[in-house]
Chains A and B, each alone.
Chain A
Amino acid sequence: MSDIASSSFVRQDLLTERPAPVKTTGFVGLMRTRLFNSPTNILLTIVGALLLWFTIVPSVRFLMVDAVWSGKDRAACLTENAGFAVGACWPYIQAKLPQLIYGFYPEAERWRVNLTFVLAVVLLVPLLVPRLPAKGLNASLFFVAFPVVAFFLLHGGGIKGFGLSWTAGLLELFDDSIIGAGQALLSSSKTSAVGPLLWLVGNFIVLVGTAIHWLILPLTWLRDQIQGAGQSVWTDFAVTAAVVCLIAFGLGGGLRAGGRALASSIFAFVAIAAVIKLMGLDRGGLPVVATNLWGGLLVTLVVSVTGIVTSLPIGVALALGRRSTIPLIRIFSIAFIEFWRGVPLITVLFFATYMLPLFLPGNFSVDGLVRALIGIALFTGAYQAENVRGGLAAIPRGQGEAAAALGLSWWKTTSLIVLPQALRHVIPNLVNSFISLFKDTSLVSIVALFDLLGSLRASFSDPKWSTPSTAFTGFAFAGVIYFIFCFGMSRYSLFVEHRLNAHRRN
């Protein structure tokens, strides 16, 4: 029967569907195919289950089941009063919450901190949601206007002058230090072995300083006139606004196309005027709260947000500098990066806080918090520079060549073609650095700034709340706060990564 007919076949009855002999879907399927399908997996599953049992269960017991939820002082959290082995002592957190959030910020002024938080959220959330419009305006409000407003809200105080006075003051300071350096050289020339040379150089520097003095004389004269008259802030403001608007008009294309630039700069100045008026900056502003009174979550957020926002541009600039063809810029960038990466953050903070004041000229002092901020920004900037450089190295040479062939300048090629691609490659690394920066802010507590962790430790010493579980409760709470922020950043970065890398999916 090996003829062709035997291989022909016609189906008589259609087969009905029947269930699989071994279930491969659902929970049973998962157990069978993933959890208990081999001796190794059985072992791993048991070990994993035990691990969960020994970590999750005690945590939940400590934080929820055995916790004390209400009370007035330590008595509520003592085992003999509660009648069971007490876990977390939540009334302690409740009582200390203001200190953990505001530090020693005066109670009557805390609405200013709250208002700053609200402003930050109101400006930041629309910036993070891609669907919402007006990203340019939103970004400039958040990155330019918000820091200034936040400073005057949190720190308080007013302004005595405006752009013109500041420019004049800055130039004067610059000029004074030039003349000072020249005179220092002159005085040391009397004793030095290379006296004549120092004398010559010193005289030259003094001469330059004097020349600059005469050059900026019109500006300082105008400043003195304005300061002498009443309403100095508004006069100065008007002069500055007029000058800046004219410059914007000129740069924007003059009569032909400058209308837009003029309108936007006038709009910006009107907004600035409104803020000055609203906050009463011309009349002394809000009462000053010195930064050594700030503390808690406020300091943690101020330090980390400033660090994050300033370190990225620093990092980008250094990374580009390190790849520059101009030797001076390249050497400077390399030296800068290697210096900051080679020094521990604690050393940087110590140096910024205790040694920097010794090096600055006498009439020039910088607030302690600002010093720590600058230290952290530069430190993180150096790390970000290496992250960004990794991204830059991943961009093929042809990209730059194609842009150049189209007539794009170096700046436009870098900002439109190279950087957007490079930064997308390194989003995970950048956010990694941001997260570690956020946690490293707790190091500022060693330079007498009380961040969240510092405030927490300070609160441990309160005898009113001293119980066996106070420290555990406090650290658990701080841990949860840090985790919420870091996990939030992590998830958001994944979202951004996914969105911006649309072109890498087919």
Chain B
Amino acid sequence: MSDPIVKISGLNKWYGDFHVLRDIDLDVRKGERIVICGPSGSGKSTLIRCINALEEFQEGEIVVDGIELGPNLKHIDAVRREVGMVFQSFNLFPHLTVLDNCTLAPIWVRNIPKRDAEATAMKFLERVKIPHQANKFPGQMSGGQQQRVAIARALTMNPKVMLFDEPTSALDPEMVKEVLDTMVDLAGEGMTMLVVTHEMGFAREVANRVVFMDAGQIIEANTPNEFFAAPQHARTKLFLSQILR
């Protein structure tokens, strides 16, 4: 197996006095798909938000593709260029068209000429199957379409790692599938993915590893088969019995 592309070691984070993340160690190898699950408030989102420095942390170290991100958050910009992120609430820029949403970062961060950026953006919009809506504003689209645009927007920066923070939680049940299909396609192309989700079907189908978190720590990490068939820890068993009925 190749070297880890994301290496988290000894990560600790506090919100004031509240210890949100406790001694997190996690290695993600290139091309690996990891699903992170757990009850709400367990620190899943905080963990992946630490990886692209949307949250600061007090102890430990995160290395992304050889770039070191310590508690003082040097190299933030370098790390963020390598890591794409998809949010629960899409966070598309409402005043820009879909196409402009997708070309903004390539033009202003990577200094790519507008014409090339638009060609790349259209390529990715085709991949998420909404090229014909390129000139619409986000507010004119359904939630599922917006989330697929958000995925395309992240991909235009050619990230080495993609983070998904509950990408389907804000969607109608019908639209969950179209977004999950896009993510399955992406996984099929070998993208390294860290996904916080409650979609256990997706975890079974796509993940290499499932990480279960509770109370700010990793309780159990295993392959999906083992994880769902034979959970070891009592807390994991309880969690699975709650959600798989």
Q: A: which residues have CB within 8 A of B?
A: 396, 398-399, 401-409, 412, 416-417, 420-421, 424, 500, 502-504, 506
| CB-CB nearest 7 A-B residue pairs | A402-B91, A503-B137, A406-B105, A405-B85, A398-B91, A407-B80, A407-B109
Are B91 and A408 in touch, CB under 8 angstroms? Answer: no
Q: Is residue B184 contacting chain A, with contact meaning CB distance below 8 A?
A: no
Q: Which residues of chain B are near A421, meaning CB under 8 Å?
A: 93-95
Q: Which residues of chain A are near B93, meaning CB under 8 Å?
A: 399, 402-403, 417, 421
Interchain CA distance A506-B105 in the complex, whole Å: 26
B51-70 CB contact bits vs A (8 Å, 1 = yes)?
Answer: 01010000000000000000
B140-161 CB contact bits vs A (8 Å, 1 = yes)?
Answer: 1000000000100110010000
Taking the closest CB of chain A, its distance from the CB of B177, in whole angstroms, is 24
Are A402 and B77 in touch, CB under 8 angstroms? Answer: no
Q: Is residue B138 contacting chain A, with contact meaning CB distance below 8 A?
A: yes
Partner of A405, one of B80, B92, B96: B80
Are A407 and B105 in touch, CB under 8 angstroms? Answer: yes
Most buried by A among B95, B138, B139: B95
Q: Which residues of chain A are near B150, meaning CB under 8 Å?
A: 402
Q: Which residues of chain A are near B91, meaning CB under 8 Å?
A: 396, 398-399, 401-402
Q: Which residues of chain B are near A403, meaning CB under 8 Å?
A: 93
Interchain CA distance A402-B92 in the complex, whole Å: 8
Are A406 and B138 in touch, CB under 8 angstroms? Answer: no
Q: Is residue B89 contacting chain A, with contact meaning CB distance below 8 A?
A: yes
Are A401 and B87 in touch, CB under 8 angstroms? Answer: yes
Are A408 and B95 in touch, CB under 8 angstroms? Answer: no
Taking the closest CB of chain B, its distance from the CB of A468, in whole angstroms, is 57
Are A424 and B95 in touch, CB under 8 angstroms? Answer: yes
Partner of B139, one of A401, A406, A417, A504: A504
Taking the closest CB of chain B, its distance from the CB of A361, in whole angstroms, is 44
Given contacts A401-B87, A502-B137, A506-B140, contact A407 B94 (CB under 8 A): no
Partner of A406, one of B95, B96, B109, B140: B109
Given contacts A416-B108, A502-B137, contact A402 B87 (CB under 8 A): yes
Other A-B pairs beyond A401-B91, A409-B77, A503-B138, 18, CB < 8 Å: A398-B89, A398-B91, A401-B87, A402-B85, A402-B92, A404-B80, A405-B85, A405-B87, A406-B109, A407-B81, A407-B157, A408-B108, A412-B109, A416-B104, A502-B137, A503-B96, A504-B94, A506-B140
Are A405 and B84 in touch, CB under 8 angstroms? Answer: yes
Q: Which residues of chain B are near A420, meaning CB under 8 Å?
A: 95
Taking the closest CB of chain B, its distance from the CB of A506, in whole angstroms, is 6
Interchain CA distance A403-B94 in the complex, whole Å: 12
Are A405 and B52 in touch, CB under 8 angstroms? Answer: yes
Are B104 and A406 in touch, CB under 8 angstroms? Answer: yes
Q: Which residues of chain A are near B153, meaning CB under 8 Å?
A: 406
Interchain CA distance A16-B109 in the complex, whole Å: 69
Interface residues of B in 128-183 (CB under 8 A from A): 137-140, 150, 153-154, 157
Q: Which residues of chain B are near A424, meaning CB under 8 Å?
A: 95
Q: Which residues of chain B are near A407, meaning CB under 8 Å?
A: 77, 80-81, 105, 109, 157
- 15 contacts across the A-B interface (CB closer than 8 A): A399-B91, A399-B93, A401-B54, A402-B85, A402-B92, A402-B150, A405-B80, A405-B154, A406-B109, A407-B109, A408-B105, A420-B95, A421-B95, A500-B95, A503-B95
Taking the closest CB of chain B, its distance from the CB of A427, in whole angstroms, is 13
Interchain CA distance A305-B104 in the complex, whole Å: 33
Q: Which residues of chain B are near A404, meaning CB under 8 Å?
A: 54, 80
Chain A residue at minimum C-beta to C-beta distance from B136: A503
Chain A residue at minimum C-beta to C-beta distance from B49: A401
Are A412 and B95 in touch, CB under 8 angstroms? Answer: no
Q: Which residues of chain B are near A409, meaning CB under 8 Å?
A: 77
Are B94 and A398 in touch, CB under 8 angstroms? Answer: no
Q: Which residues of chain B are near A416, meaning CB under 8 Å?
A: 104, 108
Are A406 and B87 in touch, CB under 8 angstroms? Answer: no
Q: Which residues of chain A are near B96, meaning CB under 8 Å?
A: 503
Taking the closest CB of chain B, its distance from the CB of A125, in whole angstroms, is 26
Chain B residue at minimum C-beta to C-beta distance from A397: B91
Interchain CA distance A187-B108 in the complex, whole Å: 55
Most buried by B among A403, A407, A502: A407
Chain A residue at minimum C-beta to C-beta distance from B109: A407
Interchain CA distance A203-B89 in the complex, whole Å: 61
Q: Which residues of chain A are near B157, meaning CB under 8 Å?
A: 406-407
Chain B residue at minimum C-beta to C-beta distance from A417: B93
Interchain CA distance A500-B153 in the complex, whole Å: 23
Interchain CA distance A420-B108 in the complex, whole Å: 16
Are A408 and B54 in touch, CB under 8 angstroms? Answer: no
Chain B residue at minimum C-beta to C-beta distance from A405: B85
Partner of B54, one of A396, A405, A502, A506: A405
Taking the closest CB of chain A, its distance from the CB of B238, in whole angstroms, is 32
Interchain CA distance A56-B94 in the complex, whole Å: 46
Chain B residue at minimum C-beta to C-beta distance from A413: B108
Interchain CA distance A335-B94 in the complex, whole Å: 34
